[in-house]
Structure formats: C-alpha cells, structure tokens
Structure 1
Amino acid sequence: MRLKLKPVNDSLKRKAPPAGIVLEFPNINRVPFYYNRAKYQSILKLEKKKAWDKVLPLLAEYVGNFGIENFYKDTKLLWRLGQLYERLGQKDRAIAYYRLVLKHHRTDIRQVQQYYDSLEQKNKDLYVPLNYYYELVEYRKSVATFKPPRGIYTNMGDAINSKAEDYGPAVHSDEELFIYTSRRKGVKGKGTDEDLYFSRFEGGFWQEGQSFGKPINSVYNEGSACLSRDGKTLYFARCDSPDGLGNCDLYSATRLGDGSWGQIKNLGAAVNSNAWDSQPTLSPQEDTLYFASDRLGGFGMSDIYFTYKQKNGQWAPAQNLGPVINTRESEVSPYFHPLYQVLYFSSRGQLLNFGDFDIYKSYRVNDRWQEPRNIGPLVNGQGSEYYFTINANSTNLYYARSEPSDLKNLDLYSFPLPMEAHPLAVTKLTGVLTDSVTHKPLNGIISIIDLDNGIEVASKYLREDGSFDFDLIDNSRYMMMIQSPDFFSIEKEIDLKQDTVLKIMTTLIDYSIPLIFKNLEFDEGKAEIKDAMKPTLDRIVLFLVDHPQVRLSIEGHTDSSGDPNANIELSQWRAFSIQKYLEDKGQLAPGRIDAVGKGSSEPIKPELTIEDRAVNRRVEFKLIKPKDAATGGGDW
C-alpha cells in the first residue's frame, strides 16, 4: 500500500539549507594538474618568514587553481591552507579544507584527522546504535503517548523479485511504473546476463514484472535505467556491445507511436569513455544527466560525472562533479530527486560511514554542491547500500539488499524514508541540556518523533557539552524526548516554523532523597487511584520503563488522626494501589517495586495545624539505582 503525504507548499519546495562555505575549483575539468613555479616559490619564501597573513591569499589562489591530480599529489597544500585558516581564526574554512584532505589523501594523515576531530567535536553526530535504538522503542511501546514508528524493510514480493539477482531500481515520477535490472533468464535464455524489467502499480499492488524485450534487451547486458517524465525517452546502460566505446556505455531509446521502443542510440564519445559508464539519472529539468564512471583521470576508483543538453540538442562533453562529491574511493549510483535540487549517491570515501558503501545526499545551492550528508543508520548498515531510488512524494526508498541466509542473491525492498534522507529536512532544531542547579551539561539520549508525517528520526546521544541538533521539515509538529538514568524523561512538543534553538534545563535525581508529589492525594479513608493522580504516576512509569535496572520503593503515610492500626492498614492499601497501577501500566516485571504502609509512624513535622496534617499525608517514592551502575549516565 502506498503512503501519501499532504501537498507540499511552494515555500517548502524552495526551502534549502544555507550555502555555508563554498569551495570553488574552476580548473577541475580544464587541466589535469596545475603548477606555477614562480607562485609556488613565493609561497615557500613567505612561509619561511612566517608571514602568515601574506601567505594566506597566495596559497588560497594557488589551491583554487587545482586540477584533479593536485588533490592526491598536492594534498599537503590543502592541509597547509586549512592550518592557515585555523591559525587566523577562520574555523569553518579550515574544516572545509581538512575534509578535502581526508577525502583525497593517499598517505598517512593521522595528524589531519586529529585536527579535524578537535574542530568538529561540537558538530559530530553521535547516533545511538541501531539495535539499542529499537530496544528504546520497545521499552516505551506500552506506555508512551508518542513513540517513533519502527522502519520496516518490505520485500517487494515475487511479482518483482526472482530467484536470480534483482537490483537497480528506478521509480517513475508518478510512481505508477517501476523499472529495474534482473539476472533472471532473459534474451539469452540463461541467468547470467542482465536485462531491464518493469512493473506497473495497479489496484494497490505491483504487477508481475515484465521484460522490456527487444530491441532494448539484447544478447548483451542492459541495466540501470531511468525514464523521462513524459515516458518517451529511456536512458540505460548496455555492456559488451560491439558499438560500445568501453565495457559499458550509456544509451537512449525512444518510445514510438505504437508503444514499442526503438531508435536506440549510443550517447557517443562526448559522454561515454573507453571504460565503464553506467547508472544514469536525470535532473528535475531533464537537461542534465548524471552517471557513474571509472574512467581514467578521476579522483578515485569511480566518480560521479554529468553532461548537459546543449542548444543544438546534443549532449555536452561529460564533466567530473568535483572534489566535494567525489573522493579517492568509489562513488556510484547517483540519483537526482525528481522535485528538488538534491543528489543522492553511494560512496565508500565520505567522512561518516556506517558500513562499506553508504548512501549520502548533497544539496545544490547557488550552483554549488554542499558537503554530502550521510542519510543515517536507519538505512545505512554495516554492509553496502547502493542501487536505490526515492519516490517523488519522498515517502519510500527502494533499494537492493540481500538476506543474511543468502548474501549472493539481491532482492528489491522498500523502506519508509527516514528524516535524515528526506529532501525537505533542512530546518535546524538545535539545543543544549543543562542541570538547573549547576548549569553543567547533561548526557542522555534525544529522540525526535514526527507527529504529522510519521517519518522516523534516528536517535542521538547528547554531545559532551549537552548540545544536539537535527535537520527537520519546516511547518511540521514534533515531539522531542530526552532520556537519561539521571533525570526524569523530558517530553516537549514543538511546532517547527523555522530554524529553532532550545535551551533546556532539568534537575538531576538525587537517589538518596525520596520523591514526594503534592498532587498524589487520596480521598479521605479511601485507597482508589484518582484521575488527577495518573499524569504523575505515568511519569514514574515512563522512568521505570526507560531504566529497566532501577527499582522503586513506595511508602504510604497518614496523619496521626484516627486509630493507628487502621492508619497503617489504609497507608498499606494506598501503597499497594499505586504499585498495581505502575506495574499494570508499564507491564513491569514482578519484584521491581516494593510497597509498604507506614501509617502515622514517620511524620515530617508536628501536627499543630490542619496544614501540618496535610503535609504528613503523603506518598514517598525512593528510586533505587543499581549498585554496579556507573555515575553520570550509567550505560548511556
């Protein structure tokens, strides 16, 4: 069943992250290597004199002229430029150049890594391990009013998948047509070749996959296709063909008037190389084609390239997408979102990796590509994620993966698109959590729940300075939850309208002091739980559910009026009533809560007035922390 989001207004469509630091290298596709002996010698002389303010503009200009080869041959100059910016207080520019060093180095760069880590410490994302994240979800499931949806991989079923490998998905903009690559028996009659298949979405289901047939599928290998918005032009890769320039080339096919496909054309030497060229994707305007290639002259094993339509209708010579997107490793599987200026791709050379190949997104702002962002651990696991696509409504991610029982066989799956991957998640929610008494930062886990769209957001640890940040969707409602062994969970609903900064303060729990809540008042002579008491008791339930190692002692107390024995019995029943409510609501294991009635034996103050008696009528909660739990956050 397909999910449908509410229509996105124009302001959201135009919304984009701030441009930030923009690094321009105009020579990337002009010269392979830049060197100017006179300018280089001038820089060295000024460096010997430690004239840093004079070195900076000269070195910045020199580095700005870099060609592709400079990034691995002259990585030290990027490093020195970053050091200069850091020395002169321009931290953001220093970080940008350190990133380039880490992406393109081919030697030992431990010192650069240390510099970069020290500068980025306050911005580093500390994702909660995925298995622990789902444990947190399970802990809260029975009691939390707001709980994050659990992302589920859904196999697309036998209609799409076969016993052979199925991968390379592309969903058409209206999500009525699904195109993919399969190694099932095709034109050759055996399962070793690659062919293109398609499926239509009808009656709420994907229909049986069908081969594109001849002439698109041939005795050669075809795969990795994308379709124009009007459905009349198909771009795809064909390998080992006699008319190819390399082992795989990009081709186009035209849908003819009778519905068949024809006019298959190799995109030519301006686009293809004598190497591997594959995995095409169109820009929203369909005037630019992005693809992956392992041709010589790139930054790494394979890079993302692009070509654009010229006025004469021909494709321009292909160009490298540059050193921000491409690294010394491999970049593959580009996918351009059909509505927004967002490029998704897989890489094993970016700076935050959860596995081998991870999926990243990069925004195009003012004709420049921003630093790629990992789309998070809810999608990227310990293996490789590539061959993927996202539907136009940004509700589902489709990609190929294998089951642990059969790692060699790829099947196509759908997965609810998490917040980190959403193209509209560009509004910042930042904040810091401190102790209300000492004003020192606190630690814990922070979770964000999308209340409007049900989009999952991976939980993070608070950083050492108590700070956090999330990229969210503007004009949406969220529930923020912060959990820790050291304080009661914090829940705050946020109606996000723009970039928002929160300053949150809370009080640490002192396990040596009993907790007394004023609104836990029973009717005179009775032990039934009243509705007014439930919000407070629910907070205690949540704490116990979130912290399964903590035990609780409940003590009921009365004033001195009446028969002492009757008071002990009444206080005991009141403590039992609270114990039963907490255990039932939180489905807590027996033995975690002790309940005892003290009657009037332990007054807080002498009962000289009616107010004094009210103070002595109370319920005390004593939280018992495990003896082996670490201080300052325990296992968090």
Structure 2
Amino acid sequence: MKAIHLLFLLLFCSLSLRAQPLSKSAKEHMEDAEYYFNNAKYEAAAASLKQAIKQKPNFAAAQRLLGVVAKETGDYETARMAYEQLFKQNPLLSRSAYFEAAELQMKAYNYIKALEYFELYKYADPKNYSIKEEGAARNYDAYLDRNIKSCEYAIEMEYTGSTGKAELLPGMANSKFDEFLPTLRANGDMLLYTSNRSGDEDILMLRKNEKGEWKSPKSIGPAINTPYNEGMAKFTVCGRRIFFAACAWENVQGGCDIYVAEYDSENEIVDSVGPAIGLNSEAWDSQPSISCDGYKMYFVSTREGGFGGSDIWVSELMADGRWGVPENLGPKINTEGDEEAPFIAPDGQTLYFVSDGHPGLGEADAFRTLLLENGEWSRPVNMGEGVNSPFREAGIVVSPDGEYAYFSSDRPEGKGGLDLYSCHIPAAMAPAVEHVFLDGYLYDEATAEPLAGARVRLRNEGENIGIFETDKAGRFFLCLPSGASYSYIISKEGYDNFIGADYFERAAGEAIKRIDVQLSPNGKIPEEEPVMAEPPKPRLRKNLSVYFETGKYDLSELQKEQIQKLLEQFEDPESLKIQVTGFADDVGDKEFNLSLSQKRAGYVTKFMKELGITSAQITTDGRGVIESNMAKHQKRKVEIIILNR
C-alpha cells in the first residue's frame, strides 16, 4: 500500500510554503524538493529537504515530506526520525502522518508504539488538523482495523518454535527488480519463480549444480514466456507438467487464466501448452498449486462468490480430464483482504498461503492451515518471524524434506523490490505428515527398453492406495506417507507380473527413493517363427528389500514379519526359487564389507529355512559394497527375489 498520494502531498507542501515565513534558502530547497518528489527523484528530494531543515530546524512541513520521501527510498530510520520531529514541532499539522508513522514503527518491530499511533489516528478529529487529507484518509481507513489487529497479534504472538534466519538466495537469483512466487520440483533440484527483470513478468528457472549450489537463472522458454505477463508456475509432483498463469493471451477469458504445459526437464523442452479446462472464468484466475496425487487444484481468483479481494479456491479433476466446478475454501481461510499463493503440501492436508487479511507482523504474511477429518480447515496459524516480517511476503513453498521454506519478501536487506529467501522452519510449521516420493522406472528385462502403459497397483496394510500407469519413459512417481510398508503389483500385457514389498522411510535430507524394476517377457513369439505357442504358464515374481543399520546383520521382528508375509503370498512354497543377495555401504574396508554383506544374506536365508524353505530352493550371495550414487542407508540391504515356476 502506498503511504500517501502525490497530489495530496504536493497540495500540502504548497499550502505549507504560503503559510509559513521562510528564509529564501529554506523556501528554495523546499521548492526543489517538491519538484524532485513530483518526478519520483526521491533521493534528490531527500537531499533538498535536509538542506531546508538545516536552514530552518523548526520546518514541520519539510519534516512531513521527508518522512514520506525517506520511506519511499527504504530509509526507514530517517523517516521515523522525521515523523518524531514533526509531532514535536506541530502535532496538529497532519492526522494522516500518525498512520504513516505507525507503519514505520511496525517495520521496526515497535508494535506497541505503532499501536499507539494507529489509535491516535483512529480517534483524532480531522477538523483539528491544519490540512485536510480526505483521499489519504479513505485509503488508510480501509486498512486501519486490520493493522490494529496485527499489532495486537504481534505483541501477544504465539510461539511456533525456533526459526532460522532468512537468507537471500545466492548468486543471480535476485536483482533490483521483483522476484517472487517461488515453486520447487519434488526432488528440490529446480526452482521456478516469477520476475519482471525483462520488463514484463516472466517465469525463470534455477537449477542446482553437482555441489548443490544454485546456478544462474534462465528463462523457461518462449513457449511460455511472451511479451505479456506469465507467472506462478507449479510442477506436478513428477515434474513432467507445469501449471502456470498467463495474462492477456489471445484466448484468456479474464485478466489472467491458468494454463498447463508438458515439460521435458532433461532437454528443457516445453510442449503442448493450453488452458486448464474448467478452472478459468471471466475474472482473474492465477497462482495454481496441484496436489501430490494430481486430483486437486488450489488456485486464486477474484470471481464472484468470494469474501473480499482475491480468494483461494479448489477444484477436483474429473474422469474426463476436465476440472470440476471450483469451491471457495470458506471464511476461515478467505477474508475481506487478499489471500494468495497457495501451496498444498504432499500430504494433501497442509496448506500454506499468504494473506493481508489475517493478523500478522505487517503487510502480507505467510500462514499454515490443516484440512481436518470433518472436511473443514483449521484456523490459520502465522508462520512466525523468520518467514514473516513487518514487510510484505509474497509466495511460499516448503522444501520436499519439510525443513525449509522458500518465499519472497521486500525486506530492506534485499537487492531491490521483492527478493527470494529461504529459511529453516520449526517442526510445528512443517507438513503434518512426512512423505517419501517413490520414483520408479520400469524396463524390459530382455531389451532394457522403458515400458510405457504398465499398471502399478499399490497397497498398504491390505488396502488399495491406487492404480497408476507408467509414462512413455517407463516412469511412475508416487507420494507415500513415510515409515510404512507397501506392496506393489506391476503388470503389463505380455510380461510376468512383478510383485514387490518394501518399507519406505525418508532419510535425513532425502525425500526421494528410486526403484528400478525389470519385467520378464512372457510368451512373446518372435515374428520369424510362424508357429503357435502353447499358452504360457503364469509366473509370479516378487521382491523385498530388507535394510540394516550400519555394521548390523541381524533381523528385527518387523523385518521377519515382512519376509513371512512375502512368502505367504505364494500358494505352493515348494515351487519357489529364491535369490538372496546381501550388500553393504562403503563404511569400512573392502574385506569387512564383503563379509558383512554375506552375513546379512546368511541371516535372511537362515530365517527363511526356519519358515520351511529348503536349501535347494535358495541361492545366497554377498556382493560387498554397492558402487552407485545412492544414499548409504539404501546400500545396507538384502534383496530377496522370489519366482514360482
């Protein structure tokens, strides 16, 4: 919100010059300041005002204008001092000055003093002041009650846990222009954000290098970025599709609409750009955020049926691929102010957003709310200091590991305008349910070619989680609550079914678990053989990975239970052929790790024999260290592969 209107200020200054006897030098400096201010040359205006005050220390009108000019340039300390001098010299010169001074006190975390000034403004009679400021007063009155509530909230703010210091994103991510509305890909290696550094708003892309450092930003490309405004891009969880807002495009229904594009991250190619069917209206629609399962879209709109400025809405994906009729999130979330930048966490229960309508530390703050079992949203909780500040926050996204928030803010320590920051967040502000992302790749065992169109059926404790399909790269990407056992059946016509079971738990700093699965061809007839084949006997293949602590090889009760459940899935145990292979990480020397991997495989084999499996059915091997880039905890394992013939 701009502090004051230029027309009002210029009129005020001119009246002040006529009303006060000034020395020639002070008057000339004041006239120069008016000229510079009118032409948005704020630094020059501030210099002239300081000269005028030097010539006439009791020059209240110059103090008044200096407060506004210094605030515009971000020199908040000078602005606060100017208002203090104004109130000492002429406390009845300007009622609006108390509102402006209160905003400055908020930016300095002086909420008690800010509240005092807001109340002075609220209860003051405009007739008692030298100048009339009806235009400014109307503007300020719209925000007065909200600001008072924010001050009261900040004074009694709830403690949400230890929050780290906000850090500017390094390198070229930020500039003197605006950078805002960040979003992360699920593995955290790519960040998209909006910037107006090119003159219009475009989507920029940041990637991490091999050291985990952010590289220089680059445009997402001309398929999305145009001479018009584009922004607030969000990846689907697999990173293969991008939803974004496009403004003033040829087929846009309102000021901005939500579009979707296919994205090839390896080759950085954007394709198949088109509107998200069913989401858009004749109003402003923007800032999409899609749920981890891809079935719910949260977005911001000014359409009819809202509670104020911009509201957050949600739509569900229908069977025909269109988005259903959007629903407003309701008055617990949406206010008479602006709610923006929703981010739905992978758990589908934790929603982050930015609002200037809920009480906060000043201007717009970031909030967190939870979807309750009854379908209602909990009361939004302010994210607290670190993420929030007395300045404007615009956009928030939480890292895949739930430990960091990425957001934008116009804090004075930035490079200019809105800048991108990151900040550690306390556990109380993290998503309610910790998730692990399962990144699976399916191949033909004979040709090593990726298998598209295979069905992946996922189960947990006997309940179906869902059925998914591999894409053209043979990939499937799932969001799973961490710390649970899952079984999965992968099937494709012409191939043996693959049945696996695993315990998926997120390790520190690692939210993605990759699995590679090979399907065995079943009954394929080579084209050069003109013979009829006998119908193939059904074969069933299952696998299980058992993980170990560093240096350990004995089995826990949970691991024994997993192995037993795996074997119970076969009707004829005597027909089974089982491969048990042990592995180790690279902690220790080569001989130690080879022995450790053999012991791990041996203990698993011993337990399976106790369950009735014979030595002739089992092949046991220990292979030592796994030479790969996977995390150490993923290397400390035994792989069990079972095939019935």
TM-score when normalising by structure 2: 0.41
TM-score when normalising by structure 1: 0.42
Q: Which structure shows the higher helix fraction?
A: 2
